[in-house]
Chains A and B, each alone.
Chain A
Amino acid sequence: MSDAPTDASSPGPLSAEERDELRRHGILLTSVQELYNWGRSHSVWPLNFGLACCAIEMIAASMAKFDIARFGSEVFRPSPRQADLIIVSGTVTKKMAPHVVRLWNQMPEPKYCIAMGACAISGGPFKQGYNVLKGIDRFIPVDIYIPGCPPRPEALLHGLVQLQEKIRQQPLRGPDAPRHLRSDLACDATVPELGAEDIEPPFSPELWKPPTLVRPDKA
């Protein structure tokens, strides 16, 4: 507080520490952005959607022992129309991938995606399998990755808290504004189709590029 401006005619914007200090004295200063993000971050409603063993941990997280209701996310919605968050909880087979992406497309903005567990992140132990999608981020923009096989409910809760933190940091205006407040960004993902040998397309080119191996000796 020592270098805070003392001149009342030019108060200047308050820093976060100064606002915290004022809050301790019972004075609440806020902005529309802070209020909006605060309300949003504490009512993230997930889609009632489970894929594999990670879904069992997700169910455990919503039950009394771990109690996801402490973070405002206990309202698992049975319809994507009312959901804010899709927790991709488990192995995404290539047959399931179109359905997951279609569900994502049917969710209204603002929407977020958590890739829960090794399978949803990269294919996990089934990465070499012929029928497993090697990471849901090939089709859906993932906000939070939770490693583990499966992650414990505490890990899911930690991921949720991280997502809340991310939501609270989002500015409402400018180039860093989130997708749902910008008209130039589409909210639709490419829905793949089952082809003869693989899903078509195998990944969404706007979201994911296959890694290129740089070998200086062969260049």
Chain B
Amino acid sequence: MAAVAKAVLYLAVDLHPYAFLALFLLVAIAFPIALLAVAQLWFRFFQPPKPSPTKQDAYECGVAPRGDAWIQFKAHYYLYAIVFLIFDVELLFLLPLAVAFTGLPTGAWVAIFIFLFLLAEGLVWAWHRGHLEWS
């Protein structure tokens, strides 16, 4: 088996130096398909399926699940996302800007100022709505 594989590999490399990549790609696609096909055949002919309500249930570490697994999460965390962008991600972009401050082309200036304008607008908005106050 190994000898055959080696011979095929040598033939492919004779054809083109990178032909073995195509060969590996073929094997990588064929191997899982063959395994899945064998598993499917085994399931079809030998092993009867045994579904049950407990087995199909959501896995909750052994506890019986209550309610539906498809629930809505609170969307109110968007405030934290905005404030995080203003105070944290902005810093991340301002540091490289400070380093390359003098040699920037016009396009980069426009881009960075659009970015800064949007963040400043977010800051004004959050300040105005009173989200920066501790309560």
CB contact under 8 A between A191 and B47, given known A80-B59, A81-B59, A102-B64: no
**Interface mask (B47-68 → A, CB under 8 Å = 1, otherwise 0):** 1101010110101011110000
CB neighbours of A105 from chain B (8 A): 52, 54-55
Q: With an 8 A cutoff between CB atoms, is A103 at the interface?
A: yes
CB contact under 8 A between A109 and B59, given known A102-B54, A188-B54: no
Q: List 8 A-B contacts (CB under 8 A).
A: A79-B59, A99-B61, A103-B62, A106-B59, A108-B55, A172-B46, A188-B50, A188-B55
Q: Is the interface of B mostly helix, strand, loop or mixed?
A: loop
Q: With an 8 A cutoff between CB atoms, is A166 at the interface?
A: no
The residue on B at minimum CB distance from A173 is B46
B54 CB contact (under 8 Å) in A172, A180, A182, A191: A191
CB neighbours of A98 from chain B (8 A): 62, 64
CB neighbours of A186 from chain B (8 A): 50, 52
Q: With an 8 A cutoff between CB atoms, is A207 at the interface?
A: no
**Interface mask (A177-209 → B, CB under 8 Å = 1, otherwise 0):** 000111100111001000000000000000000
Q: How far is the CA of A158 from the CA of B128 in the complex (A)?
A: 70
Q: How far is the CA of A93 from the CA of B54 in the complex (A)?
A: 21
Q: With an 8 A cutoff between CB atoms, is A100 at the interface?
A: yes
Taking A100-B62, A105-B54, A181-B48 as given, write out 17 further A-B residue pairs in contact, using a Cβ cutoff of 8 Å, ordered by the A residue number.
Answer: A79-B59, A80-B59, A81-B59, A99-B61, A103-B62, A105-B52, A105-B55, A106-B54, A108-B55, A109-B47, A109-B50, A181-B47, A186-B52, A187-B50, A187-B52, A187-B55, A188-B52
CB distance from B122 to the nearest CB of A (A): 40
**Interface mask (A84-109 → B, CB under 8 Å = 1, otherwise 0):** 00000000000000111011011011
Which A residues lie at the B interface, using CB under 8 A? 79-81, 98-100, 102-103, 105-106, 108-109, 172, 180-183, 186-188, 191
CB neighbours of A108 from chain B (8 A): 55
Q: How far is the CA of A183 from the CA of B57 in the complex (A)?
A: 21
Q: How far is the CA of A67 from the CA of B47 in the complex (A)?
A: 32
The residue on A at minimum CB distance from B48 is A183
Q: How far is the CA of A191 from the CA of B54 in the complex (A)?
A: 9
Q: Please report which residues of chain B, range 51-106, place their CB below 8 angstroms from some CB of chain A when the two chains form the complex.
A: 52, 54-55, 57, 59, 61-64
The residue on A at minimum CB distance from B42 is A36
CB distance from B21 to the nearest CB of A (A): 31
Q: How far is the CA of A186 from the CA of B55 in the complex (A)?
A: 12
Is B46 a contact of A99 with CB atoms below 8 Å?
no
CB neighbours of B46 from chain A (8 A): 172, 181
CB distance from A64 to the nearest CB of B (A): 28
CB distance from A217 to the nearest CB of B (A): 47
Q: How far is the CA of A186 from the CA of B46 in the complex (A)?
A: 15
A182 CB contact (under 8 Å) in B48, B57, B61, B63: B48
Q: How far is the CA of A182 from the CA of B54 in the complex (A)?
A: 20
The residue on B at minimum CB distance from A96 is B62
Closest 4 CB pairs of A and B: A99-B62, A183-B48, A105-B54, A103-B62
Candidate in A99, A103, A106 with the most chain B CB atoms within 10 angstroms: A106
CB distance from B82 to the nearest CB of A (A): 35
Q: How far is the CA of A108 from the CA of B43 in the complex (A)?
A: 12
